[in-house]
Structure 1
Amino acid sequence: MLETLRSLQKALQLEKLEKFRRRVSFGDLITDRWENAREYGFGEGSSCYDNVLILGDVKVGKATWIGPNVILDGLGGLVIGDHCSISSGVQIYSHDTVRRSVTLGREPIAYAPTAIADGVYIGPNSVIAKGVSIGASAVIGAMSFVNTDIPAGKKAWGCPARVMGDVDLSNVGSP
């Protein structure tokens, strides 16, 4: 049976390579990203790779793409809007154990809701700390650590992330 499974995996991997020029985990070979998102109750047209870690209360709007190897921590509440792109390796948190750890367990785990508005792009391997709100149509650069709110329509990047300018929406809707 194991040999049959390996043969099937190899055939599916070849098919994926030829069609999409990519290799994915075994789970993503045999599951559908859109079905995964539907099973989590995410909005219509959203997709979610099989290897995404989802904890607690996570709400995702419609047409949002959640890339591979993402962590969505909703233990303190996490809302992600419509038409967002959550790139590969992004980690979004709504709790931390900092105070609990440094006080040797005397302080409780800290929770705070995190919110990502509509049309937000979060670049690969970025980390969004608990309690942060990112406004509509904001862009977060790759490998950023976001520990403060980012206003709507702004570009931010770095460690820690800082607002670096406005998102150019002047040609939106133009042919």
Structure 2
Amino acid sequence: MSPDFNSGMSEQRVDEWLGLVRRFLQILAARKKRQFSRRVSIGDLLTERGDNAAAYGFGEGTTMYDNVLVLGDVRVGRHTWIGPGCILDGSGGGLQIGDWCSISAGVQIYTHHTVNRSISLGEKPVDYAPTRIGNGVYIGPNSIVQMGVTLGDKAIIGANSFVNRDVPAGAKVFGCPARMREAAESPAGGVGCDHGAKPSRASAGSAD
């Protein structure tokens, strides 16, 4: 029998349950704040970032925020960090990301676009092409990687860049559209990031 939410008792019961849920989330939030030295979203209160990545079959030590959007065939290697608010689109032939990459907050990586379909009023199909990200690649915050692009190992993509062509291994590019600036002298290339979070048990030994 369904509860009568119009009765005073049912409303009281709902309020009691909501109070328990709020208290539970407050306790989790305090624990996560101690663990990561910052507040996190409700989704990240309930799941570990290492577990999020493992649920998609991503490699050992890879971590991913709860609010990352994963579409289609996406494969990620080991010890890669995927920041909050990213879009990983593997719907157009597959997206592959290597080991030890940093995919910063707000990055969007695509394997399709609907430009030709839109401007032709549906007469042309959606365009698809696989996208490949090598090992040790750093992609700065809010950058967009176009479909069909390959980023070579240890490439560095500056923040707010639009990458619509292949980037050689070790190259440093930024801008809209992104253009090569110089070769990276080291895997970090002077563009480092300290995510400041302790790894979960599921991702022990990895960058978070």
TM-score (normalised: structure 2): 0.79
Partner in structure 2 of residue 162 of structure 1: 179
Q: What amino acid is aligned across from residue 60 of structure 2 in structure 1?
A: E
* 1:47 counterpart residue number: 63
Return the match for 2:133 from 109, 116, 126: 116
Q: Counterparts of 1:158 and 1:116 in 2: how far apart (Å)?
A: 18
Which residue in 1 is equivalent to 2:85? 69
1:10 to 15, 23, 26: 26
Letter in 1 for 2:166: D
Residues in 2 aligned to 1:75 and 1:171: alpha-carbon distance in whole angstroms: 30
Is 2:154 aligned against 1:137?
Answer: yes
Query: 1:116: Cα distance to partner?
Result: 0.3
Q: Check the 8 A contact 2:33/2:40 in 1, yes or no.
A: no
Counterpart check, 1:60 vs 2:76 = yes
Determine if the alignment matches structure 1 residue 35 to structure 2 residue 56: no
* Alpha-carbon distance in 2 for matches of 1:105, 1:93: 20
The whole-number CA distance in structure 2 between the counterparts of 1:115 and 1:171 is: 20
Displaced runs of 4 or more, over 6 A: none
Structure 2 distance, partners of 1:30, 1:92, is 26
**Cα distance, 1:111 vs. partner?**
0.4
AA in 2 matched with 1:75: S
The amino acid of 1:130's aligned partner reads M
Q: CA deviation at 1:48?
A: 1.2
| Partners of 1:20 and 1:166 in 2: CA distance | 34
Aligned counterparts of 2:157 and 2:39: Cα–Cα separation in 1: 26
Alignment partner of 2:21: what SS?
A: helix
Bigger relative contact order, structure 1 or 2, given CA contacts below 8 A and separation 6+?
2
List runs of 5+ in structure 2 lacking aligned partners.
Answer: 1-16, 190-208
Q: In the alignment, is the contact (CA less than 8 A) between 2:173 and 2:180 conserved in 1?
A: yes
How many Å separate the matches in 2 of 1:52 and 1:124?
A: 14
User: Whose radius of gyration is greater, 1 or 2?
Assistant: 2
Identity within the alignment, %: 58
Cα distance in 2, alignment partners of residues 49 and 18 from structure 1: 18
Q: Which residue of 2 aligns with 1:21?
A: 37
Contact in 1 for aligned 2:82/2:102 (Cα 8 Å): yes
Shift of 1:171: 9.9
Per-residue deviation, residues 9-28 of structure 1 (Å, max 9, x unmatched): 12222222233221111011
- Give the distance between the partners of 1:105 and 1:24, measured in 2 at CA: 41
How far residue 169 of structure 1 moved from its aligned partner, in angstroms, is 2.0
Q: Residue 155 of structure 1 aligns to a residue in which SS?
A: strand
Which aligned pairs between 1:77-96 and structure 2 lie closer than 5 A?
Answer: 77-96=94-113
Structure-1 residue corresponding to 2:198? none
- Larger strand share, 1 or 2: 1
> Normalised by the size of structure 1, how large is the TM-score?
0.94
Q: CA RMSD in A?
A: 1.6
